[in-house]
Chains A and B, each alone.
Chain A
Amino acid sequence: MADEVILLDYWPSMFGMRTRVALEEKNIKFDYREQDLFNKSPFLLEMNPVHKKIPVLIHNGKPVCESLIQVEYIDETWPGGNSFLPSDPYQRAQAKFWGDFIDKKVYGPTRLIWGAKGEEQEAGTKEFIEMLKMLESELGDKTYFGGETFGYVDIAMIGFYCWFDVLEKCGNFSIEAECPKLIAWAKRCMKRESVGKSLPNSDKITKFVPELKKKIGIE
């Protein structure tokens, strides 16, 4: 029996991009269903009643929520091909640590950069750069965060890359100037078919942010 895989998602979401990339990496056919987050569908609310958020991965009718949990689920359910997590327990723990770091420390400041003004925005920019530098230090001179293979931390972070242009414009700074190795890493990732298919163009995100601000009622 063929697997039925549905992804409830929202095109600019860097979290949704993680799941898209993971599915593409494993060559899994899935039904991508664009969601309107300003008018949530009954199906979305039924599949994620607790958080009412995207992405939601639905495998043979059973929902899995939270993007990094989905990435791990995909890795465990379809173990063939590229493993996202290393087999060594210590390396796995390190990968999960950095995935968690990205969620806890990198995402928050981005909202201040495009969504806030003045001191708040400046503080967000400063913190974002600091967090990116920590990530860059962890990357070092490796091809990918996990070494030679594209994996969990790369998947966790790459969706932010298409947001870099708009963040730079809003925060008036250059990410390449601050973290050149991270930009080089992102460009390497972008060459992968799974990433190219899953990330929207930067200018689409840049055009989208002012519309988003209007929709959520911030100037």
Chain B
Amino acid sequence: MVTGDVKLIGSWASVFVMRARIALNLKSIRYEFLQETYGTKSELLLKSNPVHKKIPVLIHDDKPVCESNIIVQYIDEAWSSYGPSILPSQPYDRAIARFWAAYVDDKWFIALRSILTAGGEEEKKAAIAEVEERTDHLEKAFIECSNGKPFFNGDHIGYLDIALGSFLGWWKVVELDANHILLDETKTPSLFKWAERFCNDPDVKPLMPETAKLAEFARKLFPKPQA
């Protein structure tokens, strides 16, 4: 089976890049990973994503695809006969998966990040409360989508698992930074167990960054204000 020439511009630390890599792994697609240097943007990146100038960018036979969730959908469609389906088959289930993936990006991630950028203790507490409330929504979403199965997508990982699961590395880093559990076994038991299963998935495991390495990178990206 001919897969064509596949390149992915990205970074080991990026959640959004990881989404694309998990999807490529699921489809067993070989690709060239072009690691961007932190603090600079390569010419290829600027040429391939002139609108947003951001990673990830998937380049398939010289044609660029941008935006992580769009890349994952593209991978599912371009290589539809390879490996399992990433999106559910029914239109309604697809709409629900897309809804929650958008929620992860537009609401949940924003709240998570604001813990790292919080100015003082009060701001941090408020950000933590917001993350807890939004994670609770995701717990309900998991129960609704999984229908008793191990993943949001059912028997194997899919679009929404990838959208949220790619955050698990950073999720741990933010927990350490906040000194507060953000994925609580008692408060969100289904998500907690799902997280373990997701991280152990063979298409995910090699990509999940080490917490210590990511925490060090986070300190560079989100420097603490001087006292």
* CB pair A90 B103 closer than 8 Å: no
Q: Is B74 interfacial (CB 8 A cutoff)?
A: yes
Whether A50 and B137, one on each chain, are in contact in the complex, defined by CB atoms closer than 8 angstroms, is yes
A50 CB contacts on chain B under 8 angstroms: 103, 137
Give the nearest-CB partner of A87 in chain B. B77
Task: Tell me which residues across on chain B come within 8 A of A208, comparing CB atoms.
Answer: none
Interface size on A, residues (CB 8 A): 21
Is B223's beta carbon under 8 Å from chain A? no
B137:A90 contact, CB within 8 angstroms = no
Which residues on A sit within 8 Å (CB–CB) of B91?
73, 76-77
Complex interface: chain B residues within 8 A of A69 (CB): 95, 98-99, 102
Interface residue range, chain B: 20 to 34
Cβ–Cβ contact A89 & B74, under 8 A: yes
A97 at the interface (CB under 8 A from B): yes
Q: How far is the CB of B89 from chain A (nearest CB, A)?
A: 10
The residue of chain A having its C-beta at the shortest distance from the C-beta of B71 within the complex is: A93
Instruction: Fill in one digit per residue for B67-104: 1 if any A CB lies within 8 Å of its CB, else 0.
Output: 10011011001100000000000011011101100110
Contacting pair A73 B51 (CB below 8 A): no
A100 within 8 A of B: yes
Set B51, B60, B70, B99: member contacting A96, Cβ < 8 A = B70
Please state if B77 and A66 are interface contacts (CB–CB under 8 Å): no
B118 to chain A, nearest CB (A): 23
Q: Which of A72, A93, A134 contacts B95 (CB 8 A)?
A: A72
Chain B hits for A65, CB < 8 A: 99
- Does B22 sit within 8 A of A, measured CB to CB? no
Is the Cβ of A90 less than 8 Å from the Cβ of B66? no
Task: Kindly state whether residue A183 has any CB partner on chain B within 8 Å.
Answer: no
Report chain B residues within 8 Å CB of A66: 98-99, 102
Q: Which of A66-108 contact B (CB under 8 A)?
A: 66, 69-70, 72-73, 76-77, 89-90, 92-93, 96-97, 100-101
A75's nearest neighbour on chain B, judged by CB, is B91
| A93 near B92: Cβ-Cβ < 8 Å | no
Which residues on the B side are within 8 Å of A89 (C-beta)?
74, 77-78
Are B94 and A76 neighbours in the complex by a CB distance under 8 Å? yes
B65 CB within 8 Å of chain A: yes
- Minimum C-beta distance from B149 to chain A (A): 20
Q: Given the known A-B contacts A89-B74, A93-B65, A97-B70, are A62 and B99 also in contact in the complex, defined by CB atoms under 8 Å?
A: no
B205 at the interface (CB under 8 A from A): no
Q: Return chain A residues, CB-CB under 8 Å to B96.
A: 64
Write the residues of chain A forming the contact surface with B, with a CB cutoff of 8 angstroms.
Answer: 50, 59, 62, 64-66, 69-70, 72-73, 76-77, 89-90, 92-93, 96-97, 100-101, 134
Binding site for A on B (CB under 8 A): 51, 60, 63, 65-67, 70-71, 73-74, 77-78, 91-92, 94-96, 98-99, 102-103, 137
22 residue pairs from A and B, CB less than 8 Å apart? A50-B137, A64-B92, A65-B99, A66-B99, A69-B98, A69-B102, A72-B95, A76-B91, A77-B91, A89-B77, A90-B63, A90-B74, A93-B65, A93-B70, A93-B71, A93-B73, A96-B70, A97-B66, A97-B70, A100-B70, A101-B51, A134-B51
